[in-house]
Structure 1
Amino acid sequence: MRLRTGKQPRSHPAPAMVSRKAGMMTVSVLKIQPSRRHTKCNDSERMFRFSLATMSAASWEVSTGGLQDDGPGSFPDPSRVSSAMSKSVAEKERDRQSSVWWNWGTVKSADAAVLDPATAGKESRRGEMLERLLMVETDQRRAFALEVVETLVDAGFDAVWAGGCVRDLLLGRTPGDYDVATDAHPDRVREVFGRSRTQSVGAVFGVVLVHGDRGLPIEVATFRTEGAYHDGRHPEVVRFVTREEDARRRDFTINGMFMNPRTGEVFDDVGGREDLEKQVVCAIGDPESRFDEDKLRMLRAIRFTASLSFTLDPATAKAIAAHAEEILVVSAERLADEWRRMLGECHRGQAVRLAAETTLLEKIFPEILADGEDEAVRRVDALPGEAGFPLALAALLLDVPDSSETCARLKLSNRETDEVVWLVASQNGLAGAAGQRKSRLFPLLSHRWADQLLDLVEAVSRSAGRVSEDVAWCRDLLGRVTRDELDPPELLSGDDLVADGLSPGPLFKTLLDSLRAAQLDGEVQSRNEALVLVRQLKRKRGNNE
């Protein structure tokens, strides 16, 4: 199987489905039209797709014989990575004659991908190199996931790719991870691959990590069914079962399919393919039972619906609304992780909107007043596609009196909390930027989160149907001034104040802050002038030694 790169159309590639006929396998294409909202993300997603093709029902040849260089904007072969599986010359030739091509779209849009050699700088080249490396790593992970399946099958077990990776492949997306499901029990999995290469991470659930030569682990889980969930997270009983029974205990139909990666055959016992065609996220079986098993599935339903630009099945949405209060059973860490994913994607506005409609938003963020939810949704939706989680959370919490309490409740990292709190506190700092003193404006524009602040203020204006003249002025300014003008070296330090006879204390910060303001406003320009000002300020305020 070869990989090619090049400009792709700005629409979702059609999902591929598999059918068998007379010993051959035909890869057909479902015509799914993306919603208009989805185009917002296409430029930042890596996608690949099955092309219409016919191939042997035997094993695929998995190789990257050469990534085709299609000119500016495409990515030529970075390393001639080969992951061909062992097979006879005759088998390879047969597969070669009926191969399946996977086209890999670039991360950038068709327009942005064409780099002008005269203007492409180091950042562009670094970005291209990172993309090439990521392509190689992704292919290595896929190849190793195939190798894991082959090894288990050769040992006499049933083994397939499972869940989200199958969904993504059928939607033409590049899976972030590949999970393998098998009828081999955990101890047998470890015997097959060796204990030095395996790690039991959930023995009671039948989950084993298999490590590859390049440190890319694949999760291997035994087909299982689960008993009652009395804590909304952990089943009391786990029983190893067949593949068909395993599918029925999963969360949503689109995540309940399996694929034989050697042939491309898809095993669908829950209606996942039909729901992919209909573009709907639907719980498997009774939605209330699925959410009773794991309350976090309610948020996951929102995330999948938004990230795929699908619709939420009415019965599933009704069950979420009925059980929304129970989301608080889930640990803060798991809740925060789901919000990181939802707010870190470009469909974050739709995710917040669905969370509000199903009342999950008010349960998790009670500090957001009901009459402010619509405005919060519009702000989040107005952010640029590449906005990160802290920026999006700041937009969501912009009217909350104390955003630090929310961050603490979700147990966010110190860095995430600091960014959210600073952005919320600084939201009005750019008002009337053109007329502000440099001592007030420049510290904001030289801050490490200045770009995020500009995006936040711009999103607030855009959500209200306005254009932010303040943001436009600041961005123009940033294009004209140097870093030293924006954030010049300090003229004096605390050591200089001590040398001038001051004792460390509260007065230090007052003097240094006043000196910094005078420096930015151009009132002092040298060390000597700074010392004179400090002495004047000290006399005026009194020496508190």
Structure 2
Amino acid sequence: MKTTAVATAQRLIDAGHTTYFAGGCVRDALLGNEPKDYDIATSATPDEVQALFPKSDAIGAHFGVILVKENKIPFEIATFRHDGSYKDGRHPESVTFSSPEEDAQRRDFTVNGLFQHPVTEEVIDHVGGLADLKSKTLRAIGNAADRFQEDALRLMRAVRFATVLDFEIEASTWQAVQDHAGLLEQISTERVRDEFTRTLVAPGRARGLDLLTESGLMRFIVPEVYALIGCEQPPQWHPEGDVYTHTRIMLDMLGGDVTPELALAVLLHDIAKPPTYTYDEEADRIRFNGHDRVGAEMADVILRRMKYSNKTIEDVCAMVRNHMNFMNVMDMRTAKVKRFMARPTFEQEMELHRVDCASSNGLTENYDFLREKEKEFAAEPLIPTPLVTGKDLIDMGLKPGPVFKKILTQVQTEQLEGHLSTREDALDFVRKTIEV
């Protein structure tokens, strides 16, 4: 990708235009990370860019941005510009083409305001970004309040960059995040959701949760999280502390590469503990009866409010709903264990269960039991091909109806238990079942 990016920039340079790599690609390269994409900033106007790249797409020409594809790789080529006033908290009313110095000043954070010459690799720093990269500091360019009022999504980006890069947010920038958290209401749900998701899947997600919560931003994302703070748990099972502490420890214990669904399920698995909190005086202990079921219902509401996909909602709610069932696995019949393990979210639920226990009581019996069952059942599919079908029942003279499901489930249970292994035995079982 870099080779193509350099060649694309070189075409602009050869035409006499000042041209640099800009923003995140420069930051990531200086941190020793492979850039995911390359943005190019240039003195060339949009018309001049399009003249050099006739097949380009003027998707953002109004803002001086042209999309160019070279070797099937997309590059955003933006003309150095100065932004006018922001009235919608997201986009400038107008832009004026300007210089690299002015262009750097309109960007969000100093570490994202760096330029680099594509050929010589000289770094051009008009905003003090190199010093902040060295000290691992996230600092808004210029007046932090102005930057967030221009584009309120930068509030979420501040938390995401601090989380992903493991940087400290500079004091005045952090104060501005707290002071202007309410501006997040100006931003579309989808954009907030996407930044939130990117924060949750980062290895530093537990710190990200803290930053979102402490800044007040979480009040405009998942406000239900605040009820977790101070919600006590039975100390014999949760010596780590309240539900919030338990949840953040779980997030921290997850591996580096997690799906959004798993991260969301961990965040929301105990979201219903505050509304289901009761104190059993007779047993002298705290209880959260039905918090798994209520939690799944709350998760559904939260995720739909945030406009996650139906598939994500389905998976997260399944994980939240089932997370307490792990305590019963050693008492389940073989057929039920196999069905439990065959569910599409099972492997992610195992990871949720692992960190749920590791962050609290440390018990691993149920987890170990299921891992052993995985080895035991590995020789054949957990749910094998049915020995009997609905057509077989029709051929026996039965009329389709609710009884079909009951009979087929009974046959499958016997098959999963190892009591039936052939079609003939299964048909005999059905005949005897019908007679009864």
Q: 1:107: which partner in 2?
A: none
1:358-409 deviation digits (Å, cap 9, x = unpaired)? 1222320123324243332222112122221111111111123222222222
Give secondary structure in 1 for the equivalent of 2:51.
Answer: helix
CA distance in 2, matches of 1:275, 1:465: 41
Contact 2:163-2:202 within 8 A present in 1 as well: no
CA distance in 2, matches of 1:539, 1:332: 59
Q: 1:432 to 1:182 in 2, by over 3 A?
A: same
Give secondary structure in 1 for the equivalent of 2:412.
Answer: helix
CA distance in 1, matches of 2:328, 2:31: 47
Return the match for 1:377 from 226, 231, 248: 248
1:434-477 deviation digits (Å, cap 9, x = unpaired)? 33212222122223332211111001111215142211221122
Task: Point out the more displaced range, 507-516 or 262-271.
Answer: 507-516
1:456-535 counterparts in 2 under 5 A?
456-464=352-360, 466-482=362-378, 484=380, 486-534=382-430
Give secondary structure in 2 for the equivalent of 1:172.
Answer: coil
Contact 1:382-1:460 within 8 A present in 2 as well: no
Matched residue type, 1:189 = V
1:173-322 counterparts in 2 under 5 A?
173-193=33-53, 195-196=54-55, 198-212=56-70, 214-322=71-179
Give secondary structure in 2 for the equivalent of 1:234.
Answer: coil
Matched residue type, 1:296 = L
Matched residue type, 2:39 = D
CA distance in 1, matches of 2:23, 2:221: 27
Contact 1:430-1:441 within 8 A present in 2 as well: no
1:289-313 deviation digits (Å, cap 9, x = unpaired)? 1111111111111111111111112
Q: 2:274: which partner in 1?
A: none
CA distance in 2, matches of 1:206, 1:504: 65
Matched residue type, 1:149 = A
Instruction: Confirm or deny that 1:363 pairs with 2:234.
Output: no
Instruction: List alignment gaps of at least 5 residues for structure 1.
Output: 1-140, 541-545
Q: 1:191 to 1:319 in 2, by over 3 A?
A: same
1:330-479 counterparts in 2 under 5 A?
330-368=187-225, 369-371=227-229, 372-400=243-271, 401=295, 402=297, 403-464=299-360, 466-479=362-375
Matched residue type, 1:464 = S
Contact 2:63-2:94 within 8 A present in 1 as well: no
CA distance in 1, matches of 2:414, 2:24: 58
Q: CA deviation at 1:270?
A: 1.0
Which one has a larger percent helix, Structure 1 or Structure 2?
Answer: 2
Q: 1:338 to 1:499 in 2, by over 3 A?
A: farther
Q: 1:157: which partner in 2?
A: 17
Contact 1:394-1:423 within 8 A present in 2 as well: yes
Q: CA deviation at 1:176?
A: 0.6
Give secondary structure in 2 for the equivalent of 1:355.
Answer: helix
Matched residue type, 2:51 = E
CA distance in 2, matches of 1:365, 1:418: 18
Q: CA deviation at 1:517?
A: 2.6
Matched residue type, 1:362 = R
Contact 1:163-1:256 within 8 A present in 2 as well: yes
Give secondary structure in 2 for the equivalent of 1:211.
Answer: strand
Give secondary structure in 2 for the equivalent of 1:160.
Answer: strand
Q: CA deviation at 1:261?
A: 1.9
Q: 2:3: which partner in 1?
A: 143
Q: CA deviation at 1:482?
A: 2.0
Give secondary structure in 1 for the equivalent of 2:180.
Answer: helix
Give secondary structure in 1 for the equivalent of 2:173.
Answer: helix
Q: 1:234 to 1:435 in 2, by over 3 A?
A: same
Matched residue type, 1:169 = A
Give secondary structure in 2 for the equivalent of 1:298.
Answer: helix
Give secondary structure in 2 for the equivalent of 1:367.
Answer: helix
Q: CA deviation at 1:538?
A: 5.6
Give secondary structure in 1 for the equivalent of 2:258.
Answer: coil
Matched residue type, 2:410 = S
1:327-382 deviation digits (Å, cap 9, x = unpaired)? 23222221222133222222222211211221222320123324243332222112
CA distance in 2, matches of 1:335, 1:518: 49
Matched residue type, 1:413 = S
Give secondary structure in 2 for the equivalent of 1:431.
Answer: helix
Contact 1:404-1:417 within 8 A present in 2 as well: yes
CA distance in 2, matches of 1:221, 1:276: 24
Task: Point out the more displaced range, 172-181 or 281-290.
Answer: 281-290
Q: TM-score, normalised by structure 1?
A: 0.69
Q: 1:43: which partner in 2?
A: none
Contact 1:384-1:455 within 8 A present in 2 as well: no
CA distance in 2, matches of 1:228, 1:533: 77
Contact 1:356-1:373 within 8 A present in 2 as well: no
> Identity of aligned pairs, percent?
37
CA distance in 1, matches of 2:96, 2:119: 28
Q: 1:481 to 1:242 in 2, by over 3 A?
A: same
1:65-84 counterparts in 2 under 5 A?
none
CA distance in 1, matches of 2:146, 2:21: 25
Q: CA deviation at 1:318?
A: 1.7
Count of residue correspondences? 397
